[in-house]
């Protein structure tokens, strides 16, 4: 069985391209867990550097897999949560703080035409798998025969183009944006409207303007063929940008994604408070990356505490990431698998809650 010391030695033989140090020495092996025949950790890097670190993640996985007795390896590369909002507002969302940030007059929210329901997928913390859940939940809803759209509103790290394998600026016709169609899903991403990394520098007003435009000026549905549900992948966090967005977006409900760890759960709690303030029902919590490495059950306990439904857990599995990287959600690459079954169950509960 591989022990912790040999895992650390293997990881330190892989070098961080920026500091030149080994991965553990460089502090890039966060939450390193070694248990019997498996090991895993999270590599959290600045969002602008995920491309630089993708080969490093692959090298780390290869190094761990090469250890004798090592059966399962999970290295998750995530972008650091970008905290653009001032700390005094994001540190804790007291009711007063939320009221201060809320404009005095009600903000008009334009419903997109011919869209029956708008569902937000949110997370308090970055890198917990929110976009993965958004695209797979969308695919699971579509598998039930619904017509589904996905709007990637994650101005900090739009990942929908990669996860659905779409690229290129969308067409404009008759004053409307034509969404891309991928795997039967209508899709629009802030990443399709900008050059690769431009989205990273967007700030509140610009971001919410772009999202309002994508929401209301995209031909999601028509009178003859309305869209049943539009899944909106929100930017992670609970700061001003998120608050503005959820105030301006006519949301019928939200699901909150968290990993099992306490720090992510605390952020999930803040996200729920934010939705409560704007009177958007939290349809439930989803635990992602659940299992022996990061733990299990944290989100279910948190859902109980918050008195919101618990929608289920999704295991940490390399196939989930590989499918996402290859532009095809795992629900479609492995429709008979365990993960697809979990998403089908979550989709069923969402359909009930949204009365679709
Ligand atoms: N259950 C899982 N098993 C394995 N890998 C996963 C799982 N869920 C997500 N991932 C991987 O973790 C990384 C982060 O996921 P994702 O981009 O969906 O997170 P996010 O919360 O949307 O991130 P961001 O905050 O940057 O928007 C991706 O590489 C994704 O493929």
Of 33, 55, 79, the position where a domain reaches its end is: 79
ipTM for this prediction:
0.97
CATH number at residue 182: 3.40.50.300
pLDDT < 70 positions in the chain: 79-109, 194-207
Judge if 226 and 261 occupy the same domain: yes
Which of 202, 283, 282 has its CA nearest to residue 244?
Answer: 202
Residue with tokens 């990637």: 152
Judge if 344 and 207 occupy the same domain: yes
Cα of 285 vs centre of ligand 1, distance in Å, is: 16
Query: Would you say how long the chain is, in residues?
Result: 356
DSSP conformation letters of 265-276: HHHHHHHHHHHH
Q: Nearest 5 degrees, angle CA 136-CA 138-CA 139?
A: 65
128 is in an annotated binding site: yes
Judge if 54 and 102 occupy the same domain: no
Of 79, 104, 130, the position where a domain reaches its end is: 79
Cβ of 159 closer than 6 Å to ligand 1, yes or no, is: yes
Q: What's residue 89's pLDDT? A: 32
Cβ of 265 closer than 6 Å to ligand 1, yes or no, is: no
Residue 349: CB atoms within 10 A of its CB come to: 16
Bridge partners (DSSP) of residue 76 are 42
127 is in an annotated binding site: yes
Local structure of residue 132 (DSSP, 8 states): H
Cβ of 286 closer than 6 Å to ligand 1, yes or no, is: no
Cβ of 277 closer than 6 Å to ligand 1, yes or no, is: no
Judge if 236 and 332 occupy the same domain: yes
The separation between CA 104 and the C-alpha centre of its own chain, rounded to angstroms, equals: 31
Half-sphere exposure of 72 toward its Cβ, with a 13 Å CA cutoff?
A: 13
Judge if 149 and 115 occupy the same domain: yes
Judge if 73 and 127 occupy the same domain: no
**3-state DSSP helix/strand/coil % of the chain, to nearest 5:** 40, 20, 40
**Domains in the chain, number:** 2
Residue with tokens 């690459």: 333
Residues 346 and 134 sit within 8 Å (Cβ to Cβ): no
**Residue whose CA is closest, atom 31 of ligand 1?**
321
**Residue whose CA is closest, atom 28 of ligand 1?**
321
Q: What's residue 38's pLDDT? A: 81
Judge if 126 and 37 occupy the same domain: no
145 is in an annotated binding site: no
Pairing mode, if any, of strands 310-315 and 176-177? unpaired
CATH number at residue 49: 3.30.300.130
Of 79, 113, 135, the position where a domain reaches its end is: 79
Phi and psi at residue 41, to the nearest 5°: -160, 170
**What is the position in ligand 1's atom list of the atom closest to the CA of 324?**
31
Tens of pLDDT, residues 225-270: 999 999 999 988 888 778 878 888 889 999 999 999 888 899 999 9
Judge if 32 and 113 occupy the same domain: no
Judge if 229 and 139 occupy the same domain: yes
**Residue whose CA is closest, atom 18 of ligand 1?**
129
Residues 43 and 75 sit within 8 Å (Cβ to Cβ): yes
Judge if 104 and 13 occupy the same domain: no
pTM of the model: 0.75
Cβ of 239 closer than 6 Å to ligand 1, yes or no, is: no
Q: What's residue 190's pLDDT? A: 80
Cβ of 332 closer than 6 Å to ligand 1, yes or no, is: no
Cα of 161 vs centre of ligand 1, distance in Å, is: 14
Cα of 132 vs centre of ligand 1, distance in Å, is: 6
- Cα–Cα distance for residue pair 289/270, rounded to 1 Å: 20
Cβ of 153 closer than 6 Å to ligand 1, yes or no, is: no
Phi and psi at residue 107, to the nearest 5°: -85, 130
Judge if 197 and 57 occupy the same domain: no
Judge if 169 and 291 occupy the same domain: yes
Range of the domain at 50: 4-79
Which of 111, 204, 195 has its CA nearest to residue 153?
Answer: 204
Pairing mode, if any, of strands 38-45 and 30-35? antiparallel
Cα of 321 vs centre of ligand 1, distance in Å, is: 7
- Cα–Cα distance for residue pair 304/161, rounded to 1 Å: 35
Q: What's residue 102's pLDDT? A: 44
129 is in an annotated binding site: yes
């Amino acid at each position: 069985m591989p022990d912790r010391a040999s895992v650390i030695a293997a990881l330190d033989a892989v070098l961080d391209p920026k500091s030149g140090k080994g991965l553990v020495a460089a502090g890039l092996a966060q939450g390193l867990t070694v248990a019997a025949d498996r090991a895993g950790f999270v590599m959290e890097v600045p969002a602008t550097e995920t491309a630089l670190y993708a080969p490093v993640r692959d090298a780390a996985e290869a190094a761990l897999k090469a250890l004798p007795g090592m059966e399962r390896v999970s290295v998750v590369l995530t972008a650091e949560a970008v905290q653009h909002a001032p700390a005094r507002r994001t540190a804790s969302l007291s009711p007063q703080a939320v009221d201060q940030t809320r404009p005095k007059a009600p903000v008009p929210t334009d419903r997109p035409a011919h869209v029956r329901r708008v569902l937000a997928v949110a997370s308090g913390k970055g890198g917990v798998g929110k976009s993965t859940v958004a695209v797979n939940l969308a695919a699971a809803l579509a598998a039930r025969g619904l017509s589904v759209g996905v709007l990637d509103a994650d101005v900090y790290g739009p990942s929908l183009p990669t996860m659905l394998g779409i690229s290129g600026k969308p067409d404009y016709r008759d004053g409307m944006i034509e969404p891309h169609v991928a795997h039967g899903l209508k899709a629009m991403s802030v990443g399709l409207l900008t050059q690769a990394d431009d989205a990273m520098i967007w700030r509140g007003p610009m971001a919410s303007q772009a999202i309002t435009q994508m929401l209301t000026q995209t031909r999601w549905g028509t009178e003859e063929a309305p869209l049943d549900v539009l899944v909106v992948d929100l930017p992670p966090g609970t700061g001003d940008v998120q608050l503005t967005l959820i105030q301006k977006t006519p949301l019928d409900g939200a699901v909150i994604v968290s990993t099992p760890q306490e720090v992510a759960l605390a952020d999930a709690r803040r996200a729920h408070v934010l939705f409560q303030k704007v009177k958007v029902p939290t349809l439930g919590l989803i635990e992602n990356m659940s299992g022996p490495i990061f733990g299990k059950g944290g989100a279910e306990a948190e859902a109980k505490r918050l008195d919101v439904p618990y929608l289920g857990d999704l295991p940490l599995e390399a196939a989930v990431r590989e499918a996402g990287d290859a532009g095809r959600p795992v629900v479609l690459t492995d429709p008979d698998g365990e993960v697809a079954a979990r998403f089908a169950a979550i989709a069923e509960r969402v359909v009930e809650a949204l009365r679709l």
